[in-house]
Structure 1
Amino acid sequence: MMHTSIYLSHSLALLVCIVFPLYLAIRGSASLSDIALVLSSLSERAEALHFKLTPSLAASPAPISKSLPDGLAHCINSFEQYPVLAEQVLQRKHVRYSKQTPAQKAISSQLGYPAHFEKARKGIEVNARFSEKIAQIARRDYHTGPRTPEDKEVADFGVVDLAFAHLSRDWSTQGAKERQAVFPPVLSGLEQHFGGSARGNKVLVPGSGMGRLASDIADLGYEVTANELDYGSILAYHLLTNHTSSLHQHTLQPFVTKWTHQANPSSRYSALTVPDHWPNKAVKLVEGDFLEMFSRDGEFDAVVTLFFIDMSTNVIDFLSNIHRLLKPGGCGSTLGVPLKWSTNSALQLSAEEVLQLADLLGFDVDHTSRKNIDSLYAEQPETLLKFTYVTQFWSATKR
């Protein structure tokens, strides 16, 4: 391994000069639109090739960790295997299509249905370039070493599909309408509590997801710490924050495998670009379990949660920890939740019961702040299915 690393370090320039032109020559057999995409992102492809050639050299000299955080390897593998996983989704659709009678297939052809398979595959190619870059950066940043054959056994299409949905909501212009429904009450709640004075006030955003809310809070001048457990979100956030050089740099077609509830077939191939706004690099991201990562009591002036507390296995734990982390008189939480309790939740409380619990745990709830806010989530364009949460919003302070 040491001799290999020394060899790579001495021959990196030669390898890049030789292999990269060969890579472009090979890609020359692709479609013209694919070549245009490659040329338009030349520097991005060169960086990706560099990661692929030197996975260990791109990282610091620290040894490869044999013990990775829970879920990290699974997420990296899922991003790497996205093209295979997405193709499997298409294959299942094609198997059902192929079972038609010859007469039915002839009618389907008149509708132009077979063309959807090829269009979807082109969209998968677009997505695969993005997901592969996420995986390459993750392997470098977390010192995982190169992919091994065993990695293919642990991958999940849903991990990447959900990450694309979160990216759409948080970092694309398409998600602006959804953000405008739930972000302003949270931001105005903070402004009201602190009298418009953001500087010096420390805000924690647990369950920060792709980080847009935490970033927007930091844009106002607060000292923001974001916390997330899901590596599907964390890895994509790292790409946007640390490996993106221009707005709208990355292109996705997140709906290419979603063919139901369509008013117009073209919406399946809707493209979006991210990020539509620069992530605020002043945000400190703490990776890991909210209940385990913060040891200091009274560390924060405010804790803001959005689509979070109903993810707990026991909501008492989450609210108790929020209370512990707040300074006395701190903004206990501005909460926007649909109370979509998981089947693993010990308590599946109503909104009224959650407020009673907050009072029992030492919060003073501002009942005048309570409101219901209708919120869509990662909506597909022109969909015939509108999935709306009636989110519960309120503010509270620590007694």
Structure 2
Amino acid sequence: MSREVEEDEDRLRQRRLEEVLEVKSLRRIISAYLNYPEAAEEDVQRYERSFRKLPAAHKALLSHYPSKFKRLRRCISVNSYFIFNMLQAFEPPLDMSLDVDICGDPVLENVPYDHPTGERKACSPFASTSGRMRCSKQDQALLQEGSNILCNSITGLTTDEEMQSAHLDKIPPGNFAGTIVKHDEQDEHGGNDVTGSNGNVTSSSHNWLDPSLQLNVPLVDVDKVRCIIRNIVRDWAAEGKNERDQCYKPILEELDALFPNRCKERSPPTCLVPGAGLGRLALEISCLGFVSQGNEFSYYMMICSSFILNHTQTVGQWTIYPWIHSNCNSLSDGDQLRPVLIPDILPASAGITEGFSMCGGDFVEVYNDPCQVGVWDAVVTCFFIDTAHNIIEYIEIISTILKEGGVWINLGPLLYHFADMHGHEDEMSIELSLEDVKKAALHYGFEFTKEKTIETTYTTNPRSMMQNRYHAAFWTMRKIKAATT
């Protein structure tokens, strides 16, 4: 066999391996969302078992608890209704029916469950900001290069707080959207087909939601779903306004002051937002008149942000109960079980600048590319830089992709997400002090123009008795010279 043929076969096997890994990873993420109702129900049953063990006299003091458990189940049902509609609106970029266990290839059969997907990444014109949950390797964005992005909005869906889990299979299917769609630009084809970006009609069959394809995922995966629900409040609810004012407002004011003539320029300034999660900060920057691009690694985030940005039709269209999963530090049952309406604004009518986009994939893989050198006028990092395995690499890439005179605005702590990955020999975590971070930035051609500390919370229940606060570092740096080699 010739060397060329062997190389072609190796490339083919590698592509098959990547596809299998991507399908396994995405199937796990979707299964985590679908496992949410069952995991939440198990929590309620645990509460009920503890209640039944109480002496009769103590039960009498808590006679309202059976009613509370009933209300909890109703809240779980409403959250599940939102999640299922979100999944119905998602069109996977991969063949989810692919048999990932019987591949006819012994190499593929021995692949670890959470193997990184590696090279597949794609830029797509939908917008999706930064979550504090750790993004493991299987969370990496799985979009295929060149895959069609579907542009459509869900129609005819309304939130019903009395909707029960048994009725969820009656919800009509929606479609994954690739761009923010005005509500007068509805699908003209009807049925279950939608038009792709190339004009072709694409099937929106949702057989990938078949129970036979679902996995029993660990509870840590379902915890990420609960984290997403809290992040929705931070970015897309009126109740999250205080946190947004603490974190996003200083960034937006700084951008506004640094680019005062942006509306008079022939082309708007460009701004990159790595760790763009659920999209509010990237959207607000776009509304200021910037060409704004978010970059997001976690498909948990991307599925949800796309749904909110592309499929919401009215303010307050959806109801969620974000605080029901913790009985600790509650002032009252009413606080714990209170509803939150989302979104607080209609993304399609927010006044975004043309060019608002989202690039799915690992920040290092996507932007450590020659085509990104000197492209951006501004880079904004909010609760992001401590998600790095190697924070110096982040700083180097930010310096490289900024234009001469470009600005880097940062706000956040140094929590270092991979600092406690004990027993994972392959995981690297470089944990610098703030002083060393500043030294690294100076080495890569930055000078400080503003620096202060901002006190803020992150996805905190504003009515909880416990409030975790960060003394977050806020700075503006300007790139004054090319990065030192």
For Structure 1 versus Structure 2, the TM-score category normalised by the shorter chain is 0.7 to 0.9
More displaced 10-residue stretch of structure 1: 373-382 or 262-271: 373-382
Q: 1:118 to 1:177 in 2, by over 3 A?
A: same
SS in 1 for 2:90: helix
SS in 1 for 2:474: strand
Match of 1:189 in 2: 254
Contact in 1 for aligned 2:23/2:94 (Cα 8 Å): no
Does 2:382 match 1:306? yes
More displaced 10-residue stretch of structure 1: 131-140 or 232-241: 131-140
SS in 1 for 2:251: helix
1:107 to 45, 61, 64: 61
1:317 to 363, 368, 393: 393
Unaligned stretches of 5+ residues in structure 2 = 1-18, 97-207, 422-427
2:410 to 335, 345, 367: 335
2:477 to 392, 396, 399: 396
More displaced 10-residue stretch of structure 1: 284-293 or 350-359: 350-359
Distance in 1, Cα, partners of 2:436 & 2:48 = 48
Does 2:284 match 1:216? yes
Contact in 1 for aligned 2:28/2:215 (Cα 8 Å): no
Match of 2:432 in 1: 349
Give the letter aligned to residue 362 of structure 2. D
What is the CA distance between 1:149 and its match in structure 2? Answer: 2.4
What is the CA distance between 1:389 and its match in structure 2? Answer: 1.1
SS in 1 for 2:362: coil
Does 2:305 match 1:229? no
Q: 1:166 to 1:282 in 2, by over 3 A?
A: farther
TM-score, normalised relative to structure 1: 0.78
Match of 1:377 in 2: 458
Contact in 2 for aligned 1:214/1:225 (Cα 8 Å): yes
Distance in 2, Cα, partners of 1:321 & 1:189 = 22
Match of 1:126 in 2: 78
Match of 1:74 in 2: 28
Please show how residues 1-399 of structure 1 align to structure 2 within 5 Å. 68=22, 71-109=25-63, 112-139=64-91, 144=96, 145-154=208-217, 156-197=221-262, 199-279=267-347, 280=352, 282-294=355-367, 295=369, 296=371, 297-331=373-407, 333-342=408-417, 343=419, 344=421, 346-366=429-449, 369-398=450-479, 399=481
Q: 1:191 to 1:107 in 2, by over 3 A?
A: closer
Give the letter aligned to residue 415 of structure 2. K
Q: 1:316 to 1:371 in 2, by over 3 A?
A: same
Contact in 2 for aligned 1:330/1:397 (Cα 8 Å): yes
Give the letter aligned to residue 163 of structure 1. I
Give the letter aligned to residue 216 of structure 1. E
Distance in 2, Cα, partners of 1:69 & 1:285 = 21
- Which structure would you say has the larger RCO, counting Cα contacts within 8 Å and 6 or more residues apart? 2
Distance in 1, Cα, partners of 2:447 & 2:429 = 24
Match of 2:180 in 1: none
Give the letter aligned to residue 113 of structure 1. Y
What is the CA distance between 1:67 and its match in structure 2? Answer: 5.2
Give the letter aligned to residue 235 of structure 1. I
Contact in 2 for aligned 1:82/1:128 (Cα 8 Å): yes
What is the CA distance between 1:150 and its match in structure 2? Answer: 4.8
Deviation >6 Å, runs of 4+: none
> Equivalent pairs: percent with the same residue?
29
Match of 1:39 in 2: none
Contact in 2 for aligned 1:76/1:139 (Cα 8 Å): no
Q: 1:260 to 1:321 in 2, by over 3 A?
A: same
Distance in 1, Cα, partners of 2:236 & 2:320 = 12
Distance in 2, Cα, partners of 1:129 & 1:354 = 44
Distance in 2, Cα, partners of 1:126 & 1:358 = 46
Distance in 2, Cα, partners of 1:291 & 1:96 = 48
- What do the CA deviations read for 1:348-388 (whole angstroms, capped 9, x no partner)? 2222221111001221122xx11111112222242101111
Q: 1:389 to 1:299 in 2, by over 3 A?
A: same
Q: 1:91 to 1:218 in 2, by over 3 A?
A: same
Give the letter aligned to residue 309 of structure 2. T
SS in 1 for 2:303: helix
Give the letter aligned to residue 233 of structure 1. M
Distance in 2, Cα, partners of 1:217 & 1:132 = 30
Give the letter aligned to residue 469 of structure 2. T
Contact in 2 for aligned 1:307/1:337 (Cα 8 Å): yes
Give the letter aligned to residue 432 of structure 2. L
What is the CA distance between 1:100 and its match in structure 2? Answer: 2.1
What is the CA distance between 1:161 and its match in structure 2? Answer: 0.6
Distance in 1, Cα, partners of 2:231 & 2:318 = 14
Unaligned stretches of 5+ residues in structure 1 = 1-64
What is the CA distance between 1:278 and its match in structure 2? Answer: 2.7
Give the letter aligned to residue 304 of structure 1. V
